[in-house]
Structure 1
């Protein structure tokens, strides 16, 4: 039996999903993919990456002013995590007062490109998503 292009693509997608979900739990404390997605999947990390992508280089207070609703502590935690993962470089200038600047690393830039792809997908599908939410709301209201 001949495999069509669509079926072949479906098989490749299924293989990729299987690889992500079947990490050897005995050898690893946690699935690295889940760990990475959890780290970058929160809104503060995404906003931080997007803002650094837009402005290229920002100081802490500039970044805080651009991300509506983020607390100083949450921005500190987010920047430390992104720096730990190699997505952001932090440069401290020995001045008085000290000046600290943040920029995306090449790895951070590559993640930015993926976030922009996801944003494009959301824009393309917003009407379907909103319609589905309305249908769901009607279904839930009928219960």
Structure 2
């Protein structure tokens, strides 16, 4: 029995696993976590929570687990009371810094235009 040739990844194909990779990278919290971890130093859970702002401990934990499962971060537990847990980007995770930074910078640069467009749309179509 011969193996089927691997098809090229296509995020537009609903059956392609690259779609879940893109979804994980662009979820609500992953780009913010990458921004906090980008300098390369280990960061504790409480520091991540404070730096990201607005994320619940439960959702932060779930996002970090997903990122660890995808191989984007390394989780280091140091036995102590309470246990110390540090997070760092892996080499794969570090490769997301540039594209996610570009996306973040685009959002920061264009926020006023987008908000003006929203206000104009809402005025023309009735507030949402």
The structure whose Rg is larger is 1
The residue number in structure 2 matching 1:68 is 53
Tell me which of 8, 11, 21 is aligned to 1:20: 11
For the Cα contact (< 8 Å) 2:73–2:87, is it kept in 1?
Answer: yes
Structure 1 portions without partners, runs of 5+: 1-18
1:20 partner SS: coil
Distance 2:75 2:99 in 1: 22
Partner residue in 1 for 2:97:
112
Q: Which is bigger in relative contact order (C-alpha 8 A, separation at least 6)? A: 2
CA distance in 1, matches of 2:81, 2:109: 48
Query: CA RMSD for the aligned pairs?
Result: 2.3
TM-score (norm 1): 0.69
